[in-house]
Chain A
Amino acid sequence: MALTITCPICGARNGYEFRYGGEEKGPKPDEAALRSPEAWCDYIHFNRCKAGAQEEWWFHRDGCGAWFTIHRDTVTNREIPGKEAGI
């Protein structure tokens, strides 16, 4: 596999320039909402581990330094272009 990732600023680049940043789970609930250990654990540690298309965060470490999300198929390890992902 040889992932190519499209950075919104730098364009399509070698995946090893980037760092993975987790499944997109939406903004972190505020502290009050995380009072219960279950809710806290659910947001912080639990993953869906989807086999297929998922939205996920990436950081362009050896590049512009942006955090952004892409859609990627975790079975083929290929980025799904925006329009195919329905965005």
Chain B
Amino acid sequence: MNRLNHLDTLKIRPDESVTIEYLGKPFQGAAGDTIATLLYGGGVRIFGRSLKYHRPRGLYSLNGECSNTLMAVDGEPNVRGETTEARNGMVVEPQNVKGDPARDLMGFMDKLSPVLPAGFYYKMFHKPASLWPKAIKGIRKAAGLGKISPHFTMKGSFDEIYLNADVCVIGGGPAGMAAALAASQAGLRVILLESRPWLGGFFDYRPGLYDRGRSLADRVETDPNIRVFTRTSVIGSYTDNLITAFCRGDGSDAFDERYLEIRAKSVVTSTGCIERPLLFAHNERPGVMQISCAHRLIRTWGILPGTSAVFSIGDDLGLEAALDLADLGMEIQCVADVREDGQNEALADRLAEKGIPLFRGWVAAASDGDPKVKRVSLTAINGVRSREFECDLIVAGAGQTPVTGPLTLAGAKQRFDRRTGFFLPVDLPRKMHAAGRMLGYIDPDAIEASGDLAGVKAAADCNGADDSKIREAEERLGDLQGPARGTKFIIGPVKTGKTFICFDEDTTVKNVDQAIAGGFDVPELIKRFTAAGTGPGQGGIPGHNLPLYVGLTGQSPDLDPRPTTVRPPLTPTLIAAYAGSNHDMSKRTPMHEEQVKAGGRMERVGVWHRARRFGDDAAAAAEIENVRNNVGILDASTLGKFRIFGPDVLKALDRVYVGSMSRVKSDRMLYSAMCNEDGCIIDDGVLVKRGENDYYFTTSTGRAGSSAEWIRYHTRYENWDFHIVNLTDAFGVINLAGPNARKTLEKVADADLSNDAFPFMGYREFSIKEIPVRAMRLGFVGELSFELHVASSWMPALWKIIEEAGAEFGIRHFGLEAQNVLRMEKGHLIIGSESEQRTTLHDVGLGFLWHKEKREADTVGAAALRHTENQEGRLKLVGIEAQDPQQTPRDGSIIVDEKIRGYVATARYSRTLEKSVGMALVESELADIGTQLEIFEGEKDDERLAATVVPMPFYDPEGRRLRM
């Protein structure tokens, strides 16, 4: 490894070597290298091939502005080589190429470019029509960069943290550090986010400023009020100061990537600048690189970017870089500066001392060489003269571009500023501040002062305004050098070849011209039409040049150029990182484990896990038979359970239930339903009275979460005094059903359970082996049954007692499928299964539950129930019987003649009845008993099943069994 190890600005640890595999060969670098610097240090110059033209691409930037160094790492595609730290043993492969990108077989695509103008897809491949399906195959194959296997599994650990702070500072350069220190001095808790592994930003690679940056960083890192996150990229910024970011582990961290969500009272954005790429022919040929890329390569990584360089620059940073690189031993043939004057003369003098010619008012016109740079031609910007130089490196940049994403995402506008040539953030959201180089400051003192001012303002957001402090900070900044003048330069006199405005999408200025000629006159549309800025680097390369160029060539040059919209994430972010620890919120009943042990097949039902059946039989035949003949036990703990009480409770109940709730007697349950304002049934359940103005009611599982909210909603204008307590999780429920249910329970209960003492629809409270239970005699499954509500903590004990008591009667579990069949045989509906969104109480035949005469209650849905009471042409719930018992229509089949007339809600072959029966919603004209129906299952197009409308219930129509 041939590095300049003596530099004190290095961020690598040269004596700690790191080896990765690239194209099957080992490459060695140093701890601290990125994949790209390691490979560059190892002599790799061509990193990949471009998307459309398969042009060779090399190291151009270091911050992920473009996709040139996207590579596959350990099977993970599109990893940014230039920002990903190299780790021992990584297996790295180039993308969009077979083998070595230096010798790509698809390179001929580049020659096709004249027939592939902007938006060419829209104008091609559709004539003749039969061409298109074939073309799709080709397009798909050619498209896309990385490759991922459908069987890929992501290694590593991912988590997430949620933080609160007084002040969140984005960007750990000098301005950000100054802001953080100012806020900390005001006694505030500060979070500082920096995407590089170290603090320092603009100062950290510049010889004269490195120490100054280091000492700021030391102060920040030791400040107890400041929590520093390095390796942390901000990806989102939202109103009310919500910042999202992800943090890469440093190799010793417990996570590989960590998602961060930060809510701060105030935010300072000090994200600095990236470079505005220089537009010239073949401006992305390997060997062309950004100024800061060349400068950082040598200063931070100790790598000489080339042997003989030509610079084409647009600001003093370019001059400074040329001098520094020359000092460190690189041959610099000349520096072309687009500015005709206005250079920092001290820098110009030093160049002259070194014998490096400075061409003022000159710029690169084209690079040459295949595949790497061999030559550059420079031209005077008026185009009259030109010169050529042999070189292996072109260091090129047009100027600077502020990184404003965190501000614009949160709603700031951008305005073109003629002095800096920047799109400057304006109309910042409240409690958001900008600072530093992104505002155009270039003087180190001014950068820090600007950060300090932002920090003071952020402190005022938190502590209350302190105008004098703000004024002092403003004055300090005012005394310093203001924002620097930026170059107005957009494009030189380029004559031939491709000038790329966007590397990722291979969009050339010619493509942009074509779009403008096609009538696309705003940058946002040109972006869509040419795809510029829609690749992995997003706006990193074209973000600034595209609107400038459009402004230059568009019809209305007097209008200020308008930038395109920046969208989150600001850095492409692993889906694994966003998912973080990927919590699943779900609930288990107290009997979960017990049921699993008993062979329960658990399924997700809403937030709950419930047993669908026990054992392999999908039809749950044995479970069903056992309930009909012996006794079964079901865990119904997921039922919604509520206490509602208070002086105005009856008013509230009459408002939300369709029935008249004052009719409920203390030892009997009342079955009733709730409708929405459309009169459509949304819930049913029972209500019991447990005391004066004190009731207990059940809802379906699905409504447990929303019932309290819903009841409160429909009483929100009333000043009624009542309270609702959701007891769903507090109580478990056992449903004990079957002819032997009483015998089982009698063995253990301390109460008289005889039919006289505890009749059907009765409610009792008693104890079972000293466990207090609330018992209801219900009959959902159509048999003698007891529903026992018990404090959740007692559930397992009670369950065990009952199971033991029932053993001699053949007690066994039953699950949801058995329950479904049993209740269907009985003609009991499940809301959502036998009803749709548009199904009214009348439609399901429960209209009798509606108590019309309680007008004063203003029952929810009453008006609609009145409107629809006798409405024609509605879908009604009916019982059906299949003509052929062996051909049970599937749930969800449709009922048809020449049109669709209805839907099969639930249908099963009933072993009990030895026929196939079900429930269906059919148009009212077809609802009469005896009507013949044709059912289409959607399997075979000409196959129809025959069924007849029959009365319900199918099983025990007189209801004797539940009254046993």
Question: A-side interface residues toward B, CB under 8 Å?
Answer: 1-4, 14, 19, 21, 27-28, 30-32, 34-35, 37, 40, 44, 57, 59, 61, 65, 67, 76-78
Contact = CB atoms under 8 A, between A and B. Distances in A.
B242 A2 contact: yes
B239 interface: yes
B872 to A, nearest CB: 15
A44 B242 CA distance: 35
A67 B708 contact: no
A77 B712 contact: no
Contacts of A57: 713, 716
A82 B240 CA distance: 17
A3 B712 contact: no
A1 B863 contact: no
Contacts of A3: 239-240
Contacts, number: 52
A78 B863 CA distance: 36
A1 B864 contact: no
Contacts of B238: 1-2
A30 B242 contact: no
Contacts of A1: 238-239
Contacts of A30: 855, 858
Contacts of A35: 863, 866
B625 interface: no
B858 A28 contact: yes
A34 B865 CA distance: 11
Contact of A27 (B709, B713, B717): B717
Contacts of A67: 709, 712-713, 716
- Residue in B240, B709, B712, B863 with the greatest tally of chain A CB atoms within 10 Å: B863
A27 B242 CA distance: 36
A59 B712 contact: yes
B708 A21 contact: no
A68 to B, nearest CB: 9
A77 B239 contact: yes
Nearest to B241: A2
B677 interface: yes
Given A27-B717, A44-B677, A59-B713, A2 B239 contact: yes
B646 interface: no
B678 A44 contact: yes
Task: In the A-B complex, list the 3 residue pairs whose CB atoms are closest, starting with the nearest.
Answer: A2-B242, A2-B238, A34-B863
Given A31-B855, A31-B858, A76-B411, A40 B708 contact: no
A41 to B, nearest CB: 10
B862 interface: yes
B583 to A, nearest CB: 14
B614 to A, nearest CB: 35
B862 A31 contact: yes
A25 B887 CA distance: 53
Contacts of B240: 2-4, 78
Given A27-B717, A31-B858, A35-B866, 7 more contacts: A1-B238, A21-B713, A28-B858, A32-B855, A57-B713, A61-B709, A78-B240
Contacts of A61: 709
A65 B242 contact: no
Nearest to B863: A34
Contacts of B677: 44
12 contacts: A21-B713, A32-B855, A44-B677, A57-B713, A59-B712, A59-B713, A61-B709, A65-B709, A65-B712, A67-B713, A67-B716, A78-B240
Interface string B845-873: 00000000001001000111011000000
- Residue in B239, B263, B855 with the greatest tally of chain A CB atoms within 10 Å: B239
A30 B709 CA distance: 22
- Residue in A27, A28, A77 with the greatest tally of chain B CB atoms within 10 Å: A28
A30 B708 CA distance: 23
B864 A40 contact: yes
Contacts of B242: 2
B709 A59 contact: yes
Contact of A19 (B263, B709, B867): B709
Interface string B866-896: 1100000000000000000000000000000
Contacts of B867: 37, 40
B116 to A, nearest CB: 39
Contacts of A78: 239-240
Interface in B496-550: none
B170 to A, nearest CB: 16
Contacts of A4: 240
Contacts of B712: 59, 65, 67
- Residue in A14, A31, A78 with the greatest tally of chain B CB atoms within 10 Å: A31
A2 B677 CA distance: 31
A65 B710 CA distance: 11
Interface in B244-265: 263
A45 B263 CA distance: 36
Interface in B704-725: 708-709, 712-713, 716-717
A19 B717 CA distance: 17
A2 B263 CA distance: 10
A76 B858 contact: no
Contacts of A27: 717
Interface in B200-254: 238-240, 242
B618 to A, nearest CB: 37
Nearest to A78: B239
Contacts of B863: 31, 34-35, 40
Contacts of B858: 28, 30-31
A19 B708 CA distance: 13
Interface in B131-183: none
A21 to B, nearest CB: 6
Nearest to B243: A2
Interface string B882-913: 00000000000000000000000000000000
A34 B861 CA distance: 11
A19 B716 CA distance: 14
A17 B855 CA distance: 35
A1 B239 CA distance: 5
A76 B239 contact: yes
A79 B411 CA distance: 15
Nearest to B238: A2
A30 B655 CA distance: 12
- Residue in A34, A37, A57 with the greatest tally of chain B CB atoms within 10 Å: A34
Nearest to A44: B677
A30 B855 CA distance: 9
A33 B713 CA distance: 20
